[in-house]
Amino acid sequence: MPSQGCRPGDTTSGVTVLANDAGKKKAVPVMDALYAWMIAQRLLVHNGSAITKALDYSLKRWTTLSRYLDDGVVPIDNNWCENQIRPWALGRRNWLFAGSLRSGKRAAAIMSLIQSAQLNGHDPYAYLKDVLTRLPTQRASEIAELLPHRWQPV
């Protein structure tokens, strides 16, 4: 079953969102203290050091880093997205040499279909088996019915 999006307190989709104003009331002072601490530390470290770069990076992106406080549906992290791309990132080195650019594009299309099928709650093997069986006889005007978000097994 495809994810229906995040709801406050939801952890089933791999993200945790602020459940209510109580969660926000706890998080805001912590984030404010962290921001003040980062500003104070930035004044103490020398320019060009690794810690300076880390502090500057975070301070420059502070609005984005703390956006989850403004909207309880915005996740505090992007772990769910990271976990979705992990298999492809791990295999990237193995797939450097797909044979040709054309083969690489085909492999990317298949991997995209597999991932989309998984995200829509389908067994990728069953999905591909059914789609590849039906594709030769499917009317051109009905090809969209075979896309993972619209596919229904026969």
User: What pLDDT is recorded for position 137?
Assistant: 94
Where the chain has pLDDT below 50, the residues are: 1-9, 12, 15
Q: Residue 20: what pLDDT? A: 58
pLDDT in tens, 115-152: 899 999 999 999 999 999 999 999 999 999 999 999 99
Please tell me the predicted confidence (pLDDT) of residue 106: 87
Residue 74 token pair: 């915005």
Arithmetic mean of pLDDT over the chain: 84
